[in-house]
Amino acid sequence: MVSEVALSLDLAIILLAATVAGFLAKQTGQPTIIAYILAGVVVGPVGLGIVEVTELTETLSELGLAFLLFLLGIKMRIDEIRHILAPIVKISLPQMAGVAAVGTGVSLALGFDTIESVIIGLAVMYSSTAVVIKMLTDLDETTTLHGKMDVGILLMQDVVVVIILAVLAAGRPDSATEVATTLAVVLTLVAIITVAALAASKYALPPVFRRVADNRQLFFLIALSWAFLFVFVSDNVNLFLAPLGITAYLSIEMGAFLAGVAIAQLPYSKELQDRVNPLTDLFVMIFFASVALSLDAGELFFYWEQAVVAAVVLMVGKFVIFFVLLSWQRFDSETTFFGSLYMIQVSEFGVVVAAAAVAGEFIGVEILGFLTLVALLTMGVSVYFFAFGDALFERAGPYLSRFEAEETFTEQKREYTDHAVVVGYDDLTRNVLGLLEDYYDDLVVVDRRTDHVAQLEAEGYDAVFGDIASSSIRKDVALEKADFVLSSSDSVDVGKKILRETSDDATVVLEANDPGDVRDLYDRGADYVIRSVSLSSDRLVDYLGALLEEPETFEDAAEHDAELLRDPRPFRDVHERMSGDLDD
Amino acid sequence: MSELLTAVAVIFIVAGPFLLFANRYALPAAPLLILAGIVAGFFVDETQALELAQFGIALLVFTFGVGIQLTSIGTVLADSELAALGQILVVGGLGVATGVALGVPPGEAVFLGVAVALSSTIVATALLQTELQTGLVRGRLGESIQFVQDLFAVGFILVVGAGVLELDPIVLQIGYGTVFLVAAFLVNRYAFGVMGRLAGDSDELMIVGVVSLLVVFIGSASAVGVPIVVGAFAAGLAVRHNTVEYLGLFNGLESIKDFFVAIFFVTVGALVVLPFVQMDVAASIEKLSLVVALVVLTVVLKPAVTVAILIYRGYEGRTATLTALSTDQISEFSLIIAIEALLVGLLAQAVFDAIVLAAAVTMITSTVTQRYSERIYWTLSARGIVSGSHDKIDELSDVPEGITDHVIVLGYGQKGRRIVEFCEERNHPYVVIENDPALRDDVRFDCEAYVFGDAMETYTWKKANAEEARVIVSVTGSEVVSRRLLALGYDAALVLRARDERTALSLLDAGATYVAVPDLLAGEQLIQHLRGVLDGELATEELRATILEAQGDP
C-alpha cells in the first residue's frame, strides 16, 4: 500500500541540504540565511544540478514569503507606528529615487544600454523584505525604532514594486497616461484593502476572535483562513476587476501583510505570533534555498565582474542615502546607523522585477542573471552587517553622533522591572493579587482566557493574554526582570521554564500536584512550591475535625466562607479576611 | 501564485466558516474540516492538495509516535488491552460481515471492519479534556483503549503494506518495520541529543532539523517499499523526548502539524463524490446505505460491545457506559488507511466515500453522545439494559455490620487519604467509597471499611449505610455526583467539593452543609504563607522543609 503520491524528492533534498547547511552555519557562527541560499546554490542547477524548481517547492516558498509578511503584519499595532508614518513616507520616496539613480548610473558606467540601465535602477531600489525581517526577528529587533522604520520603508517599497510589476506586466507602455492609470488603480486597490482590513479589525474581528481565542487550535486555523482570504483576493484581484474592464495586480505579500495588520489590533495577536512563527521559519527556509534554483551557472555568472562592482557601489550608496535621509528626519544616531545598515541589500523583488522585464522583452536573460547575482551578493554581505552591527556601532558611534540632530525623534515604551508577575488567574491567585499590590508597584497577570483578561483590565490590573510557554509573552511581561513570580499552572514544564528564565534574586512561587514534581521544582531553585491539594486538604481536614468535634467553630467558619462565596465582586478585598486559623 | 497555492488558499478560506461553526457549538474541528472539504471539492482539484495532505498524514502519525511514553505502556496495556483488542475483533468482524452482506467484495470489506473498529484519539481527547485532567477512571480508560487501537492501526498499515495477504511479504514488511524501530531507537538514544547540542538555543534549527529527520524516515520508508506512515511513526519515536527541554521545538511542531493536518482533513472531504449531487440515484442510495450501516455499527454496536467487555472486566456499569460513549466514532487512522487504500486501488471510490462520510457523521454524533452521556446511561440503566447486579459490589466491599455515626469518604485520592488518616487518628469510624480498579488494592490494604461501587448507584450508599452516617465527605468534585447525593437526601451532614465558586454557591443553596472550593481553601493558606515571606518573617527554607517533610522527602 505504498502511496502513488510519493513525497517530492526535490523537496526532501532541499530540506536536508538547507538543514545541514543551517547546522554548519550555527556551528561556525554564520547567519543561517546565507547557509540556506548557499545550500540552494549547491544542490541547484548552478552546482550539483540534482534539484530544480517544482510546483511544490515554489508553492512552499511563496507560502514562506506570505507567512513572513503575515507574521510581520500581526506585529504591527497601528497605535505603535502611527507616529512614524510621516517620516517613513518622507524617507522612502526620496530613498527609492536616489538608489534608482545610483543603480542606473553605475549600470551606464558599466556599459549597459539605457533601457537595461533604467530597468536595473528600478530593480535595485528595494531592500530585501525577507532578509531584513528575518534578521530583525532573529535579533529580536522588530519593535525597536529602527526596526519599525525599516519595516515601514520596506512596505512602502512593496507598494512601489507592485506598481512597477503592474506596469511591466502590461508590456511596453504606449503613453504616460497608461502608466498613470495603472498607478491610480493599484493605489486605489491598496487603499481599499487597507480600509477593509482596518474596518474588519474594528468591527468584525473582535467578536469573532473573542469567542475563538480560547481554543488554541481553532484560533490558529481561523487566523490562517483569514490570511488566505486576503492572499486570495489580492492575487485574484484581476479576475474580480476584469468585468469592469480594469487590469490590475496586487502581490500576495501585500494581502498577507494587511490580513496580519487587522489581527494585530486585537489583544490576542501575541499568542498567534508564536503559532505562526515555526511555519514561517520552515517555509522561509525553503524560500531562501530556492532563490538560486531558477538559473543556471552560465546565466548567473555572465556578468559576474560587473555584478561585484555594482554590488559594492549599491551597498555603499544605499547606506549613505539612508543615513542622510534618516538624519534629516532627526533620528538619533543609533537608529540612523542601524536603520541604514540593515537596508543595504538588493531585494528578491529586484529579481522578480527583472523576471517580469525579461517576460516583457525589455531585457535579456543575462541581465536577470546579473541582478540575481547582485541580490545574492548584497544579501550575503548585509547579513554579516546585521550580525556584527553592534560591534561596528561601538566603534563608529562616537563619530556618528556629530551628525545627530539636537532634538531627536523619541518614543516612550512601557518597561517592567522589579515587578510581580502572576501566571494564571484563578480562584487561587485571584485573592492574592490584592496582597501583591500592597508590596509591588507593578503587577502584571498573564492568562489564557479572554474573559479573564477583560475582567482584570476592567479592575485596573495590567493583564496580558497568552501562554507563558511562549517566549514573546515571557518577554512582554519581562519575566527576566521580575522580582516576584507566582504561577498557578500545575504544569511542571511551565514551572521549569519560569525557573530557568527568572533571575536568581527573584522570589518564585510555583504550583505542583505530584510530590516528585514538588521536589524537582525545589531542586531547580523554586522558593516556594504550593501543593494546592495538600494545602486544601489540610484545610478540609480542619473543617471536618471542627464539624465532628467543635460544631460551633465549624458553623462560624462555614458561615464566613459562605459569605465570601456570596460576595459578588470579582475582586474582593479579601486577603485581609482570608487568613488565620478557623477560630480566628 | 501557483495553482497549488491557490488550492491551499481555497481550502483554508472554505474551512474558516466551518471552524467558526465548530467553535460556536463546541464541536471538534476534524469532522467540520471534512465537511468543509466536501464544499471545497467543488472549487479545487483536490489531487493537487494530496501531496500536502500526505504531510498531514505523516505528521499525525509522527505526533502519535512522539507522544508515546515507553514507561507507561505497561500499565496501560494491563488496564485495557483486552477491552481494546476485543473491541477491534468483535466490531471489526461485524463490520466486515456487514460489508459483505451489503455486497462489498471481501477484500474491501476488511477496510470497513477496520474503519468501524478504530476510534478517534483526537476527537475523544478534545471531548474528554475534563475527565483526563481530573484523572477520572473513564478518561484514563478511554485514552488507553485508543492508544492500543492506534498502535494496532500502525501495525495494520505495515502488514497491509505488503499489498497481498501472503506470509513471505508480510514477514519482510515486519522485518523492515523492526529495522525502522531500531533506527528510531538509535537516533533517539544518540543522534537527537547531538542535534540538540548543535542547534544550541535555536528553536528554528531544531524544528527544521526534526522536519528533515521526518522527511528522511519517510523517504527511506518509501525507498524500501514500506508505507510512509510507518516511517513517520518511527520518526516520531526517534524524537520522543523530554518536552520541557525542547518546549520551543514541540510547540513549533504543533503549529506545523495543525497546518498540514487541516489540509489533510479538507482534502479527504474533497475526495468524496457526493451522493445525488455528483452521481445518480441508484448508486447514491447504495452508498448511503453503506454509510448508514457504518454509522449504526459505530454509534450503537461498538459502544455496546465495549460496555459488555468492560463490565466483564469488572468495571461498574456507569464507568463502562461512559467510557464506551467516548469511543463511538471513526478514527482519523481509519481515514489514513482508507485514503492510502484508495490511492493504490485497493478500495473502490464508493466504499471510500462511505467511510469518510461515516467518519464525519460519527465524529459529530460522538460529541452529542458525550454531552448527554450521563442521561444516556440513566435511560439505559432504568430499563435494565445495562446490568444492575450488585453481586460485584457485595463481593468487593467490606463494611462492618451495624456501623453507625460514621464518616463516609467518597474518593480515595490524596484528599481522601488525608481524611482517612484523620479519622484513624481520632478514632472516628469511617467507610471509603471508591470505584477505580487501579486503587482497589490500596483501599483494601489501607482501609478498615470500604465499598467498591459507583457513587451514582443507590445500592452503593445503602451498602455504606449512609442512612445512619454522621458526615458524608465527597472529595471527587464531580458536580453530577454532588447533585445525586443532595437528591438522595440522607440526614448526614454533606461536605462536598466544587471546582469553582459558582458551583459551590449553588450546591450550598441546594442544601449542602459545607462546600469546599480547593483553590479557595488553598488560597487562604497561601495568603498566610506569602504574607510571611513578603514581610520577611517567614523564611522560604522553613516552608520548604515543612512541605518536603509532609510529603515524606528527606
Q: Are residues B256 and B152 in the same domain?
A: yes
Domain boundary among B348, B382, B416: B382
Sheet with strand A507-511: strands edge to edge: A462-465, A443-447, A420-423, A484-487, A507-511, A528-530
- B540 assigned to some structural domain: no
With cell 457485595, the residue in question is B394
Confidence of residue A456 (pLDDT cuts 50, 70, 90): confident
Please tell me if residue B550 touches chain A, with a CB cutoff of 8 Å. yes
Chain B residues with CB-CB distance to A544 below 8 A:
407, 419, 422, 471, 473, 495
pLDDT of residue B166: 59
Is the pLDDT confidence value at A413 over 80?
Answer: no
Q: Which residue in B has a C-alpha nearest to residue A15's C-alpha?
A: B212
pLDDT of residue A169: 64
Q: What is the DSSP string of A504-521?
A: TTSEEEEE-SSHHHHHHH
Q: Are residues B506 and B455 in the same domain?
A: yes
- B534 assigned to some structural domain: no
3-state helix, strand, coil in chain A (%, to 5): 70, 5, 25
Domain boundary among B382, B405, B431: B382
Chain A residues with CB-CB distance to B163 below 8 A:
1
Q: Are residues B413 and B336 in the same domain?
A: no
The whole-angstrom distance between B386's CA and the closest CA on chain A is: 35
> Of A385-389, A511-515, B264-268, which has the strongest mean pLDDT?
B264-268
Query: Within a 10 A sphere around the Cβ of A351, how many other Cβ atoms?
Result: 22
d(CA B524, CA A579): 5
Chain A residues with CB-CB distance to B427 below 8 A:
none
- CA–CA distances in Å: residue A304 to residues A166, A555, B93: 29, 91, 70
- For B381, the grid coordinates are 440503566
Q: Is A45 helix (H, G, I), strand (E, B) or coil?
A: coil
Q: Are residues B219 and B335 in the same domain?
A: yes
- For A144, the grid coordinates are 525597536
d(CA B341, CA B346): 5
The whole-angstrom distance between B525's CA and the closest CA on chain A is: 6
Q: Are residues B351 and B406 in the same domain?
A: no
pTM of the model: 0.79
Q: Which residue in B has a C-alpha nearest to residue A545's C-alpha?
A: B422
Please tell me if residue B405 touches chain A, with a CB cutoff of 8 Å. no
Confidence of residue A232 (pLDDT cuts 50, 70, 90): very high
Q: Are residues B399 and B370 in the same domain?
A: no
pLDDT of residue A221: 94
Q: Are residues B436 and B345 in the same domain?
A: no
Is the pLDDT confidence value at A107 over 90?
Answer: yes
pLDDT of residue A321: 94
Pair A429, A447: CB distance under 8 Å: no
Amino acid, res. A511:
E
Contact call for B258 and A217, based on CB within 8 A = yes
Domain boundary among B382, B400, B434: B382
d(CA A261, CA A190): 13
d(CA A474, CA A502): 10
Query: Within a 10 A sphere around the Cβ of A226, how many other Cβ atoms?
Result: 24
pLDDT of residue A309: 93
Decide the pairing of beta strands A443-447 and A462-465. Answer: parallel
Q: Give me chain A's average pLDDT, please.
A: 82
CA atoms within 13 A on the CB side of B135: 13
- For A319, the grid coordinates are 547606506
- B410 assigned to some structural domain: yes
Least CB–CB distance from A519: residue in B195, B524, B553: B553
Pair B346, A1: CB distance under 8 Å: yes
* Residues paired with residue B431 on neighbouring β-strands, in sequence order: B408
| CB within 8 Å of chain A, chain B residues 281-320 | none
Chain A residues with CB-CB distance to B243 below 8 A:
493
Q: Which residue has the higher pLDDT, B487 or A291?
A: B487
Q: Which residue has the higher pLDDT, A1 or B192?
A: B192
Task: Please state the rounded mean pLDDT for residues A212-225.
Answer: 89
Q: Which residues of A280-305 are buried (b: 16+ CB within 10 A; e: fewer)?
A: bbbbbbbbbbbbbbbbeeebbbbbee
Contact call for A428 and B553, based on CB within 8 A = no
State what percent of residues in chain A have pLDDT above 90: 15
> What is the number of domains present in chain B?
2
- B521 assigned to some structural domain: no
d(CA B515, CA B500): 10
pLDDT of residue A411: 54
State what percent of residues in chain A have pLDDT above 70: 91
User: How would you write the pLDDT of chain B (554 residues) with one tens digit per residue?
Assistant: 678 888 899 999 999 999 999 988 888 889 999 999 999 988 887 777 777 788 888 888 898 888 776 655 555 556 566 777 888 899 999 999 999 998 889 888 999 999 999 988 888 777 766 665 555 667 777 878 888 888 888 888 887 766 655 567 778 888 888 898 899 889 888 888 888 888 877 888 889 999 999 998 988 888 887 888 888 999 998 888 766 677 788 888 889 999 999 999 999 898 888 887 777 888 888 889 999 999 999 999 999 998 888 888 777 788 888 888 888 899 989 998 888 888 778 888 889 999 999 999 998 898 888 888 888 888 888 887 776 556 667 777 888 888 888 999 998 888 888 899 989 988 889 999 988 777 888 888 888 899 988 887 788 888 889 899 999 998 887 888 888 888 888 888 889 888 777 888 888 888 888 888 877 777 777 787 888 888 877 777 777 777 777 666 55
Q: Which residue in A has a C-alpha nearest to residue B406's C-alpha?
A: A548
The domain that contains B85 carries what CATH number?
A: 1.20.1530.20
Is the pLDDT confidence value at A577 over 70?
Answer: no
- B529 assigned to some structural domain: no
Instruction: Give alpha helix (H) positions in B68-136.
Output: 70-101, 106-117, 121-127, 129-133
Q: Are residues B101 and B75 in the same domain?
A: yes
Q: Are residues B378 and B401 in the same domain?
A: no
Q: Which residue has the higher pLDDT, A9 or A423?
A: A423
Pair A539, B524: CB distance under 8 Å: yes
Longest pairwise C-alpha distance within chain B: 83
Chain A residues with CB-CB distance to B346 below 8 A:
1
Confidence of residue A46 (pLDDT cuts 50, 70, 90): confident
Least CB–CB distance from B218: residue in A7, A540, A541: A7
With cell 512522539, the residue in question is B66
Is the pLDDT confidence value at A555 over 80?
Answer: yes
Is the pLDDT confidence value at A166 over 80?
Answer: no
- B549 assigned to some structural domain: no
- CA–CA distances in Å: residue B42 to residues B20, B45, B267, B269: 21, 8, 12, 11
| CB within 8 Å of chain A, chain B residues 68-97 | none
Confidence of residue A3 (pLDDT cuts 50, 70, 90): very low
- B524 assigned to some structural domain: no
- B550 assigned to some structural domain: no
Q: What is the DSSP letter of B398?
A: B
Q: Are residues B372 and B422 in the same domain?
A: no
Residue B146's nearest CA partner among B118, B123, B113 is B118
Is the pLDDT confidence value at A226 over 90?
Answer: yes
- For B290, the grid coordinates are 453503506
The domain that contains B400 carries what CATH number?
A: 3.40.50.720
Q: Are residues B310 and B438 in the same domain?
A: no
- For A266, the grid coordinates are 486585537
Structural domains of chain A in order of their starting residue, each with its CATH number? 9-403 (1.20.1530.20), 420-530 (3.40.50.720)
pLDDT of residue A2: 37
Tell me the residue range of the domain where B410 lies.
391-516
Residue B491's nearest CA partner among B520, B511, B516 is B511
Q: Are residues B449 and B476 in the same domain?
A: yes
> Of A97-111, A230-244, A516-530, B162-176, which has the strongest mean pLDDT?
A97-111
